[in-house]
């Protein structure tokens, strides 16, 4: 059976596709996470961002995935979601 089209079971008072969370107006009092996906030299980029954010007085937490070849482990995703308000992830070299 073709399962690519589903009928909406809701009262359809929300958009069909989930919208992204709105961007924050300010980083004031926010904790920013920096996720290194473990590709070479990603750390150089993220180190620089950390430097700049820290200079602005913004708290930064660093994370890294065990390998860029696989999605982040659930435990890591849960930890980041619990600890930071925003996350910056470098996706490529």
Partner 1 sequence: MRTPLPDGLIVVAKADCPTCRLVEPLLAELAQAGPLTVYVQDSTDYATHLEGTQFDETLEYSWRLGTEFVPTLIRVANGKEIARTYGWHKDEWRAITGLGASLGQTLEPALPDMRPGCGSKTLEPGIAERLELAFGDFKLQSRHIDISGADDAIEACYERGWSDGLPVVPPTPLRVLRMLKGTRRAAHEIVGLMPPDLLPCTVEKVAINAVMAGCKPEYMPVLLAALEAALDEDFGLHGLICTTMFGSPMIMVNGPIAKAIGMNSGGNALGQGNRANATIGRALQLIIRNVGGGRPGEIDRATLGNPGKYSFCFAEAEHSDWLPLAQERGIAAGRSAVTVFPGEGVQGIIDQKSRDPESLVRSFALSLRAVDHAKLAMAGDAVLVVSPEHSRVFIEAGWSKQRLREELEHLLLTPGKDLLVGVGGIAEGIHERFKDKLVPKFRPGGLLIIRAGGTAGLFSAVIAGWAASGPIGSSPVTREVTL
Sites of contact with partner 1 (CB under 8 A): 1-13, 16, 18
Question: Can you tell me which residue has the tokens 């750390």?
Answer: 43
CB of 43 to partner 1, least distance (A): 32
Closest-CA residue to 28 (of 85, 89, 81):
85
Closer CB to partner 1, residue 5 or residue 82?
5
Contact 84, 33 (CB under 8 A): yes
How many whole angstroms separate alpha carbon 43 and alpha carbon 35? Answer: 9
Residue 6 or 91 with smaller CB distance to partner 1: 6
Distance, in Å, from the CA atom of 49 to the CA atom of 44, rounded to the nearest integer, reads 9
Smallest separation, CB 15 to partner 1 (Å): 10
In the bound state with partner 1, the residue whose beta carbon lies nearer, of 54 and 78, is: 78
From the CB of 72, what's the least distance to partner 1, in Å?
A: 17
């Amino acid at each position: 059976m073709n399962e690519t089209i589903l009928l909406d079971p809701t009262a359809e008072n929300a958009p069909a596709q989930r919208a992204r969370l709105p961007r924050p107006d300010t980083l004031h009092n926010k904790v920013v996470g920096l996720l290194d996906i473990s590709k070479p030299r990603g750390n150089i980029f993220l180190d620089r961002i950390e430097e700049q954010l820290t200079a602005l007085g913004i708290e930064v937490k660093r994370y890294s995935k065990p390998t860029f070849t696989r999605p982040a482990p659930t435990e890591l995703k849960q930890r980041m979601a619990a600890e930071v308000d925003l996350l910056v992830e470098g996706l490529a070299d």
